Structure 1
Amino acid sequence: MRLDAGLMGRLAADEALWRDFNDICDCGGRLSGTQSEKRAFALLRERVRAASPANSGRSIPVPYNGWQAKSATLKLPGGTFAPCHPLVRTIATPSSGLTAEVIDLGRGTPDEFEAHKAEIAERIVLVRHELMFAAGTIHRRRKYDMARAHGAVGFLIGGPLAGHVVAGSSGRDSGEGIPALGISPETAAKLARRSTGFPSVTITVETAEGPAETETLVYDYPGQTDEWVVLSAHVDGHDLAESAMDNGTGLAAVLAVARALSPEVAKWRRGLRVMFFSVEEWALTGSAQYVKALGEAERAKIALNVNLDSVAGSPNLAALTSGFAGVEPFLLGVAEANGQSLRTVRPLMTNSDHANFATGGIPAIRLVAGFDDPNAHLRVVLTPADTRDKVAQSELRQATLLTAALVAAACNADPDEAARWRA
């Protein structure tokens, strides 16, 4: 299960890894539906073509409900305005805005919603952003859904980084919803509940919505059988910064692994399918459509999905194994054989594209850096600080080497080993 020394050497010396990462960051934040996203897709095509001229790949159309924020304001008690950022797919307010009292629910746990259920209706719920890469994290979309279910008329989420707002998706697809904004921790502190009651604010949001289309890029490198190992990463990000950690790191690592392994795959048991998804930040839309379209026979041919999302920003790597206990000994064995440390986290976490493969019955992992580490740079994902300076070359190369080892071992695993992954 040790990566071939020649492959390891090529990956260790691959200067294109860092070049690709920086070029991806140069594309901008890659918000779905923007020119930044299109530039990133064009770059990926060019880099794969340079490494594999004979593999033109294929593009799968991904229709989705397009959305664009035109403006947003948050007027505080006393008439001052605070910085804010509309969450993806938030609904618009009337042109005159939405004025309501704010109820601060802290983290926004189910217990907090339950304890205050009699006070939430017709108010704007305020919650806090949490480290996404941690056990027990309550995702922002779940908090938004709980706010709606309890009759809230608006939603605010306080970010983790002093002086900066936070981005993210509301989780809404289309239709009904409530206005949703990301704010700074300082603004959240100003809106905490006082002895005098609930502070009142005015939210204004202007948006545009309509049918849109992006794509999923697929590059197949066949093996000796009709089975596949899928290596994936998402292209899209947010417009506050470069979306460098999330997910410029994953994209660059996938390009490097494909560049190194593709000439070898024809000799291996399973083929390698490289996939670049988009609208991941919009409720995992691209991968959801792909998995839903697969027939049972096609699903059975995918032995494993290795999904790279935010794989640098910390030297500590974890594999989220999505409830597939049988895959954990394989992952740990490959990591150990290649001199790497890896933590496995078993519960299914629906925080990246691996989740759609897992819920479709396909063994799937997400490789992520900085899991359960509140001091890792990953804490500033979804803020303007998600920039390339948070990523060390050594971290990105470490994640790339481990990914290559996992993919090569998965492509060559015997049928009995692969069958255990589905346990």
Structure 2
Amino acid sequence: MSEQETTPGDAADAGDAADTTDAFAAAIGRTWTDDRPWNFITDLTALGDRMGGSAGERRAADLVADAFEDAGVDDVELDAFEMSQWTRGWTEFELTAPVERPFDAIALPYSPSGDVEAELVDVGYGTPDEIDAEDVDGKIVVASTTTPSGRFIHRMEKYGCAVEAGAEAFVFVNHIEGQLPPTGSLTFGDEGSVPAVGVSKETGEWLKEYAANSSGETGRVRVGVEAETTPGESQNVVGHIGPKTDEELLLLAHYDAHDISEGALDNGCGIATVVTAARILAQADLDVGVRVAGVGCEEIGLLGAERVAETTDLSEIKAVVNVDGAGRFRNLVALTHNSDAMSAAAERIDETTRQPVDVNGDPHPFSDHWPFVREGVPAFQLHSDSGERGRGWGHTHADTRDKVDDRNIREHAILTALLVGDLATADAPRLDLDDLAATFRENDFEVGMRAAGLWPDGWE
């Protein structure tokens, strides 16, 4: 066996036979043909339900822990934390006027139980301006999962704005064809105030027609939800790569998924990318240590990432690499959240590898980087671009393993490892929180974030 054919298990014992640079390069080389990413995502999606706080999420945590250890991550352990567990019961949704007709629907996580019948009002994409333009008080609001242009308006903002305007219930309409009602949490970890359901694009077309009935008779619908929010427990999987240094990097991805699908794209691909990147980084000669985490409960409020932030001295974290969305599609996207240093790192990897890394500097609060970014820690969210607006198959029954192309996972894992290696030696200044708040305002985030309860205290 040549020096550059040293296996990951042998590399640590190779001594002077091969330096760590050779071992790192060899680990990158092996990744191109490694079948372990596909085997991992197969095992993960075979578990079925990975909803935050569920037994399936715990089984997934054990799987991630085993994968971390196999990849060469040290000191792997599970860190349990308390959370509010939402459990789905039944959902009923029907048009009651001008005709009676039932439709398929699914409750959105943290929807309270309730039974509401009221007039239907279509608020289009559900932007704050569209909601303000309609009289929604006492009515049931219908809004699309997408937005037409500009920044993407998140579901939590649409729900929060509708509730503030007096809506009695909320109906979230998928913009993707295929009879696929969408899911998605209404809040960050707490029960909402009015019932909310997701319906398919096809159902939404009927609802929009009834909401603007040409005869002048406005449609009425009934929304019935049974669900419960109870004390529960989730867990993060944490470990370490490289030297123990005063300042370290944090590499993380969420492994939980919504209960209606396998969660292959969101975020099976992301956690598979982190496991694969960790295997590469375990062979690197890093200047700083890397804390590695598979976090739970992202889909219902970033609760696992909040736990990491709460139990970590953030002055010791140089930068965060959040892998949420990477590995799904061909080209990696680096969201850099107002950090010129993070943008520069992504651009360096793009140039040196000649592998596309698209950079977007605009910040947003809807993934596991947020508990760190709002405290000034520079961060990536590593994503990938389908070329389409919105989540695609994500948050629907169609988020299944057959949608996965594991070469994307392998390539993005290599790029992730190289980005971490670059950050280990690069300067990464803290974010200016005044500038960050100003950017959110310039991008029209403030109204929606306040409605969703996400605007940080002190950002006045």
Pair in the same fold by TM > 0.5: yes
Letter in 2 for 1:13: T
Match of 1:241 in 2: 261
SS in structure 2 at match of 1:276: strand
CA shift for structure 1 position 224: 6.0
User: Match for 1:86 among 107, 118, 127?
Assistant: 107
**In structure 2, how many angstroms separate the alpha carbons of the residues matched to 1:406 and 1:172?**
29
Give the unaligned 5+ runs of structure 2: 1-20, 433-460
**In structure 1, how many angstroms separate the alpha carbons of the residues matched to 2:193 and 2:143?**
17
Match of 1:393 in 2: 406
CA shift for structure 1 position 244: 0.6
2:164 paired with 1:143? no
How many residues end up aligned between the 2 structures?
Answer: 404
Match of 1:382 in 2: 395
User: Does the aligned pair in 2 maintain the 1:280–1:287 contact within 8 Å?
Assistant: yes
2:203 paired with 1:187? yes
CA shift for structure 1 position 131: 7.3
User: Does the aligned pair in 2 maintain the 1:327–1:421 contact within 8 Å?
Assistant: no
**In structure 2, how many angstroms separate the alpha carbons of the residues matched to 1:311 and 1:90?**
29
Letter in 1 for 2:402: D
Taking only aligned residues, the RMSD between alpha carbons, in angstroms, comes to 2.2
**In structure 1, how many angstroms separate the alpha carbons of the residues matched to 2:167 and 2:186?**
14
Q: 1:56 to 1:174 in 2, by over 3 A?
A: same
SS in structure 1 at match of 2:392: helix
**In structure 1, how many angstroms separate the alpha carbons of the residues matched to 2:266 and 2:147?**
13
Match of 1:210 in 2: 230
**In structure 1, how many angstroms separate the alpha carbons of the residues matched to 2:412 and 2:131?**
39
User: Match for 1:27 among 43, 47, 66?
Assistant: 47
CA shift for structure 1 position 348: 1.0
User: Does the aligned pair in 2 maintain the 1:230–1:302 contact within 8 Å?
Assistant: yes
Letter in 2 for 1:75: E
Match of 1:109 in 2: 127
Map 1:218-367 → 2, pairs under 5 A: 218-223=238-243, 225-264=245-284, 267-294=285-312, 298-367=313-382
**In structure 2, how many angstroms separate the alpha carbons of the residues matched to 1:158 and 1:230?**
36
Match of 2:144 in 1: 128
Give the unaligned 5+ runs of structure 1: none
CA shift for structure 1 position 339: 2.1
Percent identity of the aligned residues?
28
**In structure 2, how many angstroms separate the alpha carbons of the residues matched to 1:253 and 1:368?**
11
Match of 1:156 in 2: 171
SS in structure 1 at match of 2:226: strand
Q: 1:375 to 1:316 in 2, by over 3 A?
A: farther
User: Does the aligned pair in 2 maintain the 1:227–1:302 contact within 8 Å?
Assistant: yes
User: Does the aligned pair in 2 maintain the 1:322–1:355 contact within 8 Å?
Assistant: no
SS in structure 1 at match of 2:377: coil
TM-score by length of 1: 0.90
**In structure 2, how many angstroms separate the alpha carbons of the residues matched to 1:336 and 1:278?**
34
**In structure 2, how many angstroms separate the alpha carbons of the residues matched to 1:61 and 1:337?**
40
User: Does the aligned pair in 1 maintain the 2:170–2:196 contact within 8 Å?
Assistant: yes
TM-score by length of 2: 0.83
Letter in 1 for 2:200: S
Match of 2:4 in 1: none
CA shift for structure 1 position 226: 2.0
CA shift for structure 1 position 79: 2.7
User: Match for 1:58 among 73, 77, 81?
Assistant: 77
Letter in 2 for 1:18: W
Q: 1:337 to 1:422 in 2, by over 3 A?
A: farther
**In structure 1, how many angstroms separate the alpha carbons of the residues matched to 2:279 and 2:220?**
55
Letter in 2 for 1:174: D
Letter in 1 for 2:94: K
User: Does the aligned pair in 2 maintain the 1:58–1:218 contact within 8 Å?
Assistant: yes
CA shift for structure 1 position 13: 2.9
CA shift for structure 1 position 391: 1.8
